[in-house]
Amino acid sequence: MKTPIRTALVAAIALAVAAGPVAVPAMAHTAPTASARTASASSLAGLDIAALQRTIADLPADDATSAVIRVSGRAGSWRGAAGVRDVASGQPVLADGRFRAGSTTKVFTAAVVLQLVAEHRVALNRPVQHYLPGLLPADYPAITVAQLLNHTSGLRAADGPGDSFEDQYAHRFDTTTPLQMVASATAHPLEFTPGEKQHYLNINYTVLGLLIEKVTKDSYEHQVQRRILDPLGMRDTYYPGDDPHIHGPHNLGYQRTPGGLVDVTDWNVSAGWAAGDIISTAADLERFTVALFSGRVVPKAQLHHMLQAPKGITMYDSEDPAAYTMGLTRLVLPDGTVAYGKTGERYGYLTGMGATLDAYGRIDRTLVFSVGSTDAKSASGNPRKVPIFLAAMQNS
């Protein structure tokens, strides 16, 4: 996940932007109707369904227009959906609609790299400079594949059009290539010596996408399609490239500004690439989550790396211990439950996936959710993220 649980619990900070984009009129609150909110008849032992229902019972609301939640496990499943497909028509949310899944893309990228490790085509402790000579400056120290995977490389973030929503929105149709991202990031010195700290940054996975292409002599997108999407039957998941549209049935995304809600559904997310541009559905992500934690995507010897955060180092900007693994985050919840998860944010969309395992490493429970977040990229994250995760993953 983007932030540790304790950090994400801080109250959300409102995104202040100058008025400018043409805004959708602010929506009026309406209670979810029976058709806009559904749940399966089967429930999971120990799951607090009432707590889950409360996390989305008031949608649409100021912080989100919609939500879709899927929880599954050995004891059964629960499905919930609330809110609207779009604020203009007020049509009920599409429980099977596509959405931008953001940084959950990193889990797919990490899985392909670890498959290549299992095939002895990539070595975790070998410098990425061995596979991609000339990509990084000659005066950079060795940065291993493992350090890219667990965000301990020391690479800096690539520069962008600006941090504010107004700046980002003005450039929403720009196309950015992976090599441009790397060139921007490596125009600066490293933040720290590789392996000394952990700093979650997209650039690590941009380089990993290029690594996949170099080793396989194929496009990154096709490798994910061939290795993961096709075998798992994930027919509603795809990479948009520089196409700003979401194709197929989908819920619209909005960003709240001082002038009202701005429709941000159409957006060129090419800058995210292997770090954050996948489009999916809750059902497809659930299929992937179950397969991943069952050892059907990454062999169990390599899956172990996705469950272990590097020891003995702290985060770059705090003294908190490193929590990011290779593609995921390891969390100890307030009730002592150990959970693994990943969230992703794009303007208008918040996505999460995760799982808890039993003492034998078998899946106890999985969670996938999509929230039509209207405060994406705020400092503390959408306020529904942590309550949904805790309600789904802790035992009542």
**Cα–Cα distance between 68 and 87 in angstroms, integer?**
16
Tokens of 130: 């061995």
103 classed as catalytic: yes
Q: Which residues of 52-64 are buried (b: 16+ CB within 10 A; e: fewer)?
A: bbebbebbbbebb
Catalytic residue among 66, 72, 77, 103: 103
Query: 33 phi and psi, to 5 degrees?
Result: -90, 170
Residue 237 carries which DSSP code?
-
**Cα–Cα distance between 245 and 267 in angstroms, integer?**
7
Please count the other Cβ atoms lying within 10 Å of the Cβ belonging to residue 295: 15
**Cα–Cα distance between 21 and 258 in angstroms, integer?**
10
Cross-strand bridge partners of residue 100: 279
Calculate Rg over the CA atoms of the chain: 20
For Cα atoms 247, 202, 140, give the angle at the middle one, nearest 5 degrees.
145
The helices-and-strands tally (H runs, E runs) of the chain is 14, 12
- The answer for residues whose C-beta is within 8 angstroms of residue 51's C-beta and 6 or more apart is 387, 390, 391, 396
**Cα–Cα distance between 56 and 83 in angstroms, integer?**
8
Distances (CA, A) of 355 to 12, 265, 288, 363: 25, 28, 11, 7
Strands 314-315 and 197-198: parallel
Q: Count how many residues are written for the chain.
A: 396
Contacts 24+ apart (CB under 8 A), 354-362: 354/289, 354/389, 354/392, 354/393, 355/289, 355/292, 355/293, 356/393, 357/293, 361/300, 362/74
Shortest CA distance to 267 belongs to which of 282, 254, 256?
Answer: 254
Q: Which residues are catalytic?
A: 103
